[in-house]
């Protein structure tokens, strides 16, 4: 029985990595080889020539850069804005607090997909289609981040805040010298989750950007793919180049990513 479990487990594990391994193996094949059987992919000759060609002749590197730039801006600003908002929602008594909380909370119910058509019109009126601003700003409105961070700030004991106040520290100092350091793991999880989400975000860039100078990777991939229909090597190289940064990130930050997912229950 033990062996049965082991074999099933191993099979499941292999099944999950197989598509990725196949992607990598095909991506290092020589172009134009005749593939008559599955075995042909897994035997040499191998070469990195197509990686070189794709990186030199396409705008893929620009798009990787755009994806990084947008994801970093979105992450930094989302976490900063949400932390500031979450902090006062958690610790500061002020007028209309429950109304503000209700407005933010109801935002959780609004799916981005449902407002994306009017959002397009709004962004067009503001003149931010086809720009970095247009890619970044609409992504910052994340009530989920505010609510999750608020619940972490709730866990910081009030005595600590009062001890800073007795020392003459103001609200800003409480925020930067107590709240931020004490909730760093939560902030890190939120940041990494936001980064991955932005890196992979497709629908909004797909609608709001038509100029290929501002494409992000998920946007650029379908555009490139349409040109290569014969051979598998180029598409797989593109897929591999697009995935490697995020896979490396996953390997480094696996713990935080997993924690972030289990804390917030955020879906796709």
Quote the least distance from Cβ 77 to other proteins, whole Å.
8
DSSP structural state of residue 178 = I
The CB-side HSE value for 101 (13 A sphere, CA atoms) comes to 17
Q: Tell me which of 54, 60, 70, 140 binds other proteins, using CB under 8 A.
A: 140
Show the binding pattern over residues 199-218: x = contacts other proteins (CB under 8 A), - = does not. Answer: xx-xx---x---------xx
State how far the Cα of 10 lies from the Cα of 148, in Å rounded to an integer.
Answer: 36
- Is 156 a binding residue for other proteins by CB under 8 A? The answer is no
- Is 19 a binding residue for other proteins by CB under 8 A? The answer is yes
- Is 95 a binding residue for other proteins by CB under 8 A? The answer is yes
The CB-side HSE value for 73 (13 A sphere, CA atoms) comes to 14
Subset of residues 221 to 260 that bind other proteins, contact rule: CB under 8 A:
221-222, 225, 232, 235-236, 238-239, 242-243, 246-247, 249-251, 254, 257-258
In the structure encoding, which two tokens stand for residue 128, read together? 């931010």
Q: Total binding residues for other proteins by CB under 8 A?
A: 96
Q: Tell me which of 24, 76, 119, 188 binds other proteins, using CB under 8 A.
A: 119
In this structure, how many other beta carbons lie within 10 angstroms of the beta carbon of residue 39?
8
Subset of residues 42 to 71 that bind other proteins, contact rule: CB under 8 A:
none
Q: Tell me which of 24, 33, 76, 116 binds other proteins, using CB under 8 A.
A: 116
- Is 143 a binding residue for other proteins by CB under 8 A? The answer is yes
| φ, ψ dihedrals at 29, nearest 5° | -75, 160
In the structure encoding, which two tokens stand for residue 266, read together? 């955020």
Q: Which is nearer to other proteins, 33 or 53 (CB)?
A: 33
What residues does 46 pair with on adjacent strands?
A: 29
Quote the least distance from Cβ 45 to other proteins, whole Å.
19
In the structure encoding, which two tokens stand for residue 17, read together? 């990595």
Quote the least distance from Cβ 184 to other proteins, whole Å.
19
State how far the Cα of 221 lies from the Cα of 112, in Å rounded to an integer.
Answer: 22
In the structure encoding, which two tokens stand for residue 235, read together? 């598409």
- Is 105 a binding residue for other proteins by CB under 8 A? The answer is no
Q: Is 127 left (phi over 0), alpha (psi -120 to 50) or beta?
A: left
């Amino acid at each position: 029985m033990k062996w049965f479990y082991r074999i099933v487990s191993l099979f499941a594990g292999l099944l999950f990595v197989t598509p990725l391994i196949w992607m990598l193996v095909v991506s290092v094949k020589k172009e134009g080889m005749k593939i008559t059987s599955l075995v042909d992919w897994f035997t040499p000759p191998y070469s990195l020539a197509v990686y070189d060609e794709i990186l030199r002749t396409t705008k893929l590197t620009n798009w990787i850069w755009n994806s990084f730039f947008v994801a970093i801006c979105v992450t930094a600003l989302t976490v900063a804005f949400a932390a500031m908002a979450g902090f006062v929602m958690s610790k500061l008594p002020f007028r209309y607090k429950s109304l503000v909380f209700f407005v933010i909370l109801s935002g959780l119910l609004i799916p981005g997909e449902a407002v994306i058509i009017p959002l397009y019109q709004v962004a067009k009126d503001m003149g931010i289609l086809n720009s970095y601003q247009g890619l970044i700003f609409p992504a910052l409105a994340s009530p989920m981040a505010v609510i999750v961070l608020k619940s972490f700030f709730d866990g910081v004991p009030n005595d600590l805040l009062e001890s800073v106040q007795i020392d003459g520290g103001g609200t800003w100092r409480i925020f930067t010298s107590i709240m931020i350091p004490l909730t760093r793991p939560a902030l890190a999880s939120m940041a990494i989750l936001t980064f991955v989400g932005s890196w992979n975000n497709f629908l909004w860039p797909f609608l709001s950007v038509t100029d290929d100078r501002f494409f992000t990777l998920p946007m650029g991939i379908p555009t490139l793919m349409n040109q290569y229909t014969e051979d598998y090597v180029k598409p797989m190289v593109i897929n591999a180049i697009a995935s490697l940064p995020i896979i490396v990130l996953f390997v480094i930050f696996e713990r935080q990513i997993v924690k972030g997912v289990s804390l917030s229950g955020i879906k796709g």
